[in-house]
């Protein structure tokens, strides 16, 4: 029972940290998604950065990862982000013991849009 409590507390703390990163300054959108750097799970920018917000993108399971990443990159560009940190790409049924055949299979990308303060001096 003690292990479950520790895992629950850790999950709650993680969610609180993500929520704390949920809003940053209002930046103008990027002209193109190609202006947004992409960092895959396990990698981070070397430049100092701050969070603009976290989000998820969900698509059909048949959608190629490249398309899913392009959607997330576009969304980050609309937020004015300098970079997109992809936390995970998963499926809706990942980790489930029993499969609900009525549940639509989806591919889900969890990400954080960030900006580099050095590139956005305060007025």
- CATH code of the domain covering residue 55: 3.30.110.70
- In this predicted structure, the answer to whether residue 9 has a pLDDT above a threshold of 50 is no
Number of domains composing the chain = 1
Residue 9 counted as domain residue: no
Return the pLDDT at 97.
56
Number of H helices, E strands in the chain: 2, 4
Residue 2 counted as domain residue: no
Model pTM score: 0.73
Residue 18 counted as domain residue: no
Residue 69 counted as domain residue: yes
Return the pLDDT at 94.
60
Segment 20-35 shows an average pLDDT of 81
Provide, rounded to the nearest whole percent, the portion of the chain with pLDDT above 70.
Answer: 71
**Hey, what are 80's tokens?**
């004015």
Return the pLDDT at 25.
81
Of the two residues 13 and 72, the one the predictor is more confident about is: 72
- In this predicted structure, the answer to whether residue 22 has a pLDDT above a threshold of 60 is no
Residue 104 counted as domain residue: yes
- In this predicted structure, the answer to whether residue 66 has a pLDDT above a threshold of 50 is yes
Residue 32 counted as domain residue: yes
Please enumerate in sequence order all residues whose Cβ is within 8 A of that of 100, keeping only pairs 6 or more positions apart, or say none.
93
User: Which residue range forms the structural domain that includes residue 42?
Assistant: 23-119
Residue 15 counted as domain residue: no
Query: Alpha carbon of 88 to those of 14, 69, 119: distances in Å?
Result: 15, 11, 27
Query: Alpha carbon of 118 to those of 34, 66, 99, 101: distances in Å?
Result: 20, 29, 48, 49
């Amino acid at each position: 029972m003690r292990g479950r409590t520790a895992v629950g507390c850790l999950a709650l703390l993680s969610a609180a940290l993500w929520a704390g990163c949920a809003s940053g300054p209002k930046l103008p959108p990027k002209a193109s998604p190609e202006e947004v750097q992409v960092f895959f799970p396990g990698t981070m920018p070397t430049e100092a950065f701050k969070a603009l917000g976290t989000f998820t993108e969900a698509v059909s399971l048949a959608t190629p990862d490249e398309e899913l990443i392009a959607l997330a990159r576009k969304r980050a560009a609309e937020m004015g982000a300098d970079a997109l940190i992809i936390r995970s790409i998963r499926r809706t049924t990942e980790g489930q013991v029993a499969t609900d055949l009525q549940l639509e299979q989806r591919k889900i990308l969890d990400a954080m849009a960030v900006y580099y303060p050095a590139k956005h001096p305060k007025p």
